[in-house]
Amino acid sequence: MTAAVTAHPADPHERLRSVVRDFARTWIAPHVTRLEQDQTVEHDLPRLIAAQGWIGATIDPAYGGMGAGHEAKTVIVEEISRVSAAMGAAAQASQLGLAKIIHFGTVEQQREWLPRIADGTVLPTIAVTEPGSGGHVLGMQATGRRKGRDYVLTGRKVFVGNSAIGDVHGVVVRTGKGSKGLTAFLVESGRTGLTVSPHRPALGLHGFSFGELVLDECRVPAANMIGEPGDGLAVAYSSSTLYGRPNLTAVALGLHQAIYDTTTEFARSRTRYGKPLAKLPTIRAKLGELRSHLLTARTLAYHAVRLLDAGRPCDDDLINAKHVTTELLQDSARTAMNIWAAAGLLTEHPVQRYVRDALHMFPPAGTGDIQLLRLGETASGVTHPQWSARFPGTAHTHPDVRSAPAA
């Protein structure tokens, strides 16, 4: 056993952590080799994870959710990602997909979708990115045209987390000009005019689909609109800040822990010069660096979500945690590969998988450049809405529902 890096002196989610850890070892670990070899979309494991109720970590108990908050969500995603970052990515993508319904959904929409997301029967997604617009969200070109009581959506969305397995997609399209010209709609997976493009295998995260949705004159009722016309940018940014960033931070943390665990074990058990590799001064310094990076990442990750759960304005903490934990993870991945040397290149060892998976953490929920831009804006006195102030705490459902049982 490697020396543990504890989550917190008094981990309030110790029991949850242990349950998810056991689940991941028992139900996910046996499939990792298959996921790596097949490089196809995994349908069953994300549904099995969802059936545990874990997508509903932040859903109000009035809707059947755990009501446990963002810290609990981080624990869940971290522990799954420690075994399979691909399945951690799938879990977090569904949790990300429900944010807009919690933040902007009407009572009717919340009643319709949240109980089914909470019990794992419906997997939501959010589709913002397009071939011509990633970080430049306002550059999107997909359109929504009003036609009677419906909207007709046309365009392409790419890199959509859980694109191939999602049951209801939250699609942001252009309905007008400028920053107030984006609007979000729920598009059920069976809708005429919506197709999921064939899976394109990527460098890592094998089993996770983050692919393309094509909308070709896809008609949805106006009642499927999330928020008001023009709220699309707010839907995208609030989802990304309050769910996307901490969720990716959690995947990065699970991967980081896995790198630490396997590499310390390797350095202790491998013999060089008649003694454990870990006794070489250069290797020991590298192990110290791994531990330092992991401790820092863990502190940042949990500090940010605790602020969020406490209802404190913390957008910059969430942004910074995503940025720094991703950077530290990538540093650690490279350091670990150096410790493993040639052995690390063999696919029979997991460290090469961790390195490939780690490279997937940079783009989503804002690349490192975007995170630094946001932090730089704060430092320069540019004011933005604080999403964590607008949607404080964990339960953002309508007050009349919070006290009443779900319909």
Binding stretches for ligand FAD (CB under 6 A): 89, 93, 126-129, 134-136, 159-161, 210, 360, 363-364, 367, 369-370, 373
Q: What is the DSSP string of 11-52?
A: -TTHHHHHHHHHHIIIIIGGGHHHHHHH-S---HHHHHHHHT
Q: Which residues contact 129 (CB under 8 A, 6 or more apart)?
A: 157, 158, 159, 160
Amino acid residing at 287: L
Structure tokens at 340: 């493993």
Residue nearest ligand FAD, CB atom distance = 134
Closer to ligand FAD by CB, 82 or 322: give it: 322
CB of residue 239 vs ligand FAD: minimum separation in angstroms?
9
Which of 93/351 has CB closer to ligand FAD? Answer: 93
Query: Could you give the 3-state DSSP secondary structure of residue 111?
Result: helix
Based on the number of CB atoms within 10 Å of its own CB, is 280 exposed (0-12), middle (13-18) or buried (19 or more)?
A: middle
> CB-wise, 16 or 168, nearer to ligand FAD?
168
CB 97 → ligand FAD: shortest distance, Å?
7
Nearest residue (CB) to ligand FAD, 290 versus 355: 355
Closer residue to ligand FAD, CB minimum distance, 296 or 367:
367
**In the complex, minimum distance from the CB of residue 346 to ligand FAD, in angstroms, rounded to a whole number:** 25
At its nearest, how many Å lie between ligand FAD and the CB of residue 29?
21
Closest to ligand FAD by CB, 93 vs 194, is 93
Closest approach of Cβ 129 to ligand FAD, in Å? 4
DSSP track, 125-188: EEE--BTTBSS-GGG---EEEEETTEEEEEEEEEEEETTTT-SEEEEEEESSSSTT-EEEEEEE
Q: How far is the CB of 22 from ligand FAD (least distance, A)?
A: 26
Nearest-angstrom CA–CA distance, 176 and 271: 65
